[in-house]
Structure 1
């Protein structure tokens, strides 16, 4: 594994291991560092929806206002990401990583002392801006260090975020909800840890990242016409809409659903949410390496078609089977994300940061709009009705039929 050197004189030279090419194919230390920082980032983000019930009670918020908090956070986390990615593809700015985490740090502090709904919205916006700076650049660094195993690197990077998202509700249940809003400030330690990690990653990226990416190129790609490129991106957009609207229904409102339908205590409901999010993390990790072997399109097929029967049954079962089915859904549906990201990067070669920004931006944007829309529907028709409606979303996975192939030879 490569050490993160702090020697300024190493900027123009590569270590013997770097020069060997094969020995330094997949840099687990760099990919692992980006995954760990991603975990810190997304754990902070996951705490926000996890404390919605506490905020709802403390500030007498409606489901619509809860949805607006998600909307503000998700939109600020999404709108800037493509532009950050496009700019850093042309003008790399690796130290944006710790700087963005600094903005998240400010958002956490504001959330801990927020005294009204508007201040909560401002805090959510700051956390979103920090996220929009982090994701495209960190994803690009993980790709740089992949040694050509792009799906594996993307999965490792994403599973760090999903693991953080899974532990967010646990942290909220054990630390924040019992001790109140001010205890949110403990998350500042997590942000500071991420800043230290990202500073070291940024040094490696500034010195060796570009050379390493050139050395380990991808397999030959199909020459794709503009029409086919548009078709591919439209299909990816449809699949992202289906996946993240469904995920938003669970990550934002699952605790409300369990409390209302099964009279489950809030702490136990948070643990059920943790089980779902942990399954998402495991499924995400599996999807990338499988996609490197059997192809991105095959993984997407397995992910969407495999989840359809479980999603349709979910609104009609008891508590035990609700938990079991959500775990299965998390495992199966999440496996598609890394494949979709790498597929889109193959459709638009040479712009990994921009594509990552669009993909993560779409994820957050769709999640935010879905959270707001589903919150409004929950106020109008009830949370049970919302889950009945969302059960049909995985059927949009049949759009995979129209995905053009990108590789002339699969690995």
Structure 2
């Protein structure tokens, strides 16, 4: 069985990192700068992130279904370039309305890029589907972790006009994708010739349960990344330290994504997903209760386990719905993250009523419910023999 094509995979992963630095990574962190520049309310500031999430994430299943019918390789370089172009223009627009337009443009580029890029990882995987998705997804997770660090590195010193430099990020990502287009088109032709051999029985109910687990995982991740800095402020820990702890949480998740994806080529997707969610529970419970260095260790282990199934769920979904690679990747990567952002709004409502400590002290219930829902998903090993 053919092994993964590493050069193409790392090109896809690198472009994925650059794309996600410019969307899920930096856009939420830019809210204070946008708010000050355009004299916005908190609701208007939140709308910026909502627009970015809706166009880039929630719409991904639609884009994926569109490209499943006719794959469009040119979306790879175009998508990531539009992501950078929209973000760069946001430093120069004259009004809040135009800001929403260019943020939507950036989100559109990201939404177009992800399903087609995930298909590329699928085509480059050979017999190592989990490893291939791990390499691809770790780029995105690294981008989300690195995005907030872009502010202290240069944006805070240059102001919003400094966002013009992200046009180079978009161009670099587009160049990486342009280089692999000949290979991508060739692999698409090979896939069309063998499509009948790889089709299997669809399991839509199993996919529904899988999407629910991904939503709960996303709510857990975004809940921690969004509310942990406020929790530390509540305990008189400076915001700068809280942001570093959040980075450690997300960086540990990137490591978990990579190792979990590699493990999924050897063990059952169902039980790896169950183990990832179930082992998250004690560390989610202990993180707000344990202070000092031990608390940081708990947070790092928490991040590792909660995202160790990130790549696995993409491959798992592709086996539950064969032949719909773009749609599945849109559901697992895009809709899961986007709806997770909507879930963060619900957690914010709870925090307003009961306080941030209440949210973090009870967030362990989300991965616990996720682990129970995993039991209703068909075992991936049985899918191959069905």
TM-score, reference length from structure 1:
0.84
1:328 pairs with one of 280, 286, 301: 301
| 1:145 paired to 2:124 | yes
Counterparts of 2:287 and 2:260 in 1: how far apart (Å)? 23
Residue pair 2:118, 2:326 contacting (<8 A) in 1 also? yes
Counterpart of 2:4 in structure 1 is: 26
SS of the residue 2:126 aligns to: coil
Counterparts of 2:162 and 2:60 in 1: how far apart (Å)? 29
Evaluate the alpha carbon distance shift between residue 308 and residue 218 of structure 1 in structure 2; reply closer, same or farther with a 3 A threshold: farther
Counterparts of 1:171 and 1:327 in 2: how far apart (Å)? 22
1:258 pairs with one of 229, 232, 256: 232
CA RMSD of aligned residues (A): 2.7
Q: How does 1:59-98 map to 2 (within 5 A)?
A: 64-98=43-77
Residue pair 1:44, 1:168 contacting (<8 A) in 2 also? yes
Counterpart of 1:346 in structure 2 is: 319
Evaluate the alpha carbon distance shift between residue 218 and residue 66 of structure 1 in structure 2; reply closer, same or farther with a 3 A threshold: farther
Evaluate the alpha carbon distance shift between residue 322 and residue 66 of structure 1 in structure 2; reply closer, same or farther with a 3 A threshold: farther
Q: How does 1:96-245 map to 2 (within 5 A)?
A: 96-114=75-93, 117-211=96-190, 223=201, 229-245=203-219
Residue pair 2:10, 2:135 contacting (<8 A) in 1 also? yes
Residue pair 1:255, 1:273 contacting (<8 A) in 2 also? yes
TM-superposition CA deviations, 1:216-269 (whole Å, max 9, x none) = 999996x56xxxx23312211220111001111133343343334334143x33
Evaluate the alpha carbon distance shift between residue 81 and residue 409 of structure 1 in structure 2; reply closer, same or farther with a 3 A threshold: closer
| 1:246 paired to 2:220 | yes
In the TM superposition, residue 376 of structure 1 has moved relative to its aligned partner by 4.0
1:308 pairs with one of 265, 281, 291: 281
Counterparts of 1:95 and 1:320 in 2: how far apart (Å)? 48
| 1:40 paired to 2:18 | yes
Residue pair 1:314, 1:391 contacting (<8 A) in 2 also? no
Counterparts of 2:335 and 2:105 in 1: how far apart (Å)? 18
In the TM superposition, residue 330 of structure 1 has moved relative to its aligned partner by 1.1
Residue pair 1:242, 1:394 contacting (<8 A) in 2 also? yes
In the TM superposition, residue 198 of structure 1 has moved relative to its aligned partner by 1.0
Counterparts of 1:126 and 1:399 in 2: how far apart (Å)? 36
Evaluate the alpha carbon distance shift between residue 242 and residue 261 of structure 1 in structure 2; reply closer, same or farther with a 3 A threshold: same
Counterparts of 2:78 and 2:325 in 1: how far apart (Å)? 21
Counterparts of 1:29 and 1:212 in 2: how far apart (Å)? 19
Counterparts of 1:402 and 1:54 in 2: how far apart (Å)? 45
Evaluate the alpha carbon distance shift between residue 206 and residue 26 of structure 1 in structure 2; reply closer, same or farther with a 3 A threshold: same
Counterparts of 1:258 and 1:408 in 2: how far apart (Å)? 45
Residue pair 1:348, 1:355 contacting (<8 A) in 2 also? yes
Question: How many matched pairs?
Answer: 383
Counterparts of 2:94 and 2:292 in 1: how far apart (Å)? 36
Residue pair 2:85, 2:166 contacting (<8 A) in 1 also? no
Evaluate the alpha carbon distance shift between residue 389 and residue 115 of structure 1 in structure 2; reply closer, same or farther with a 3 A threshold: farther
Q: Which deviates more, 331-340 or 248-257?
A: 248-257
Q: How does 1:390-409 map to 2 (within 5 A)?
A: 390-396=363-369, 397-408=371-382
Residue pair 2:217, 2:367 contacting (<8 A) in 1 also? yes
| 1:277 paired to 2:256 | no
Counterpart of 1:295 in structure 2 is: 268
Could you tell me which runs of 5 or more consecutive residues in structure 1 were left unpaired when the two chains were aligned: 1-21
Counterparts of 1:215 and 1:282 in 2: how far apart (Å)? 34
Evaluate the alpha carbon distance shift between residue 27 and residue 390 of structure 1 in structure 2; reply closer, same or farther with a 3 A threshold: same
Evaluate the alpha carbon distance shift between residue 343 and residue 382 of structure 1 in structure 2; reply closer, same or farther with a 3 A threshold: same
Counterparts of 1:217 and 1:141 in 2: how far apart (Å)? 19
TM-score, reference length from structure 2:
0.89
In the TM superposition, residue 93 of structure 1 has moved relative to its aligned partner by 0.8
Counterparts of 2:263 and 2:211 in 1: how far apart (Å)? 22
Could you tell me which runs of 5 or more consecutive residues in structure 2 were left unpaired when the two chains were aligned: none
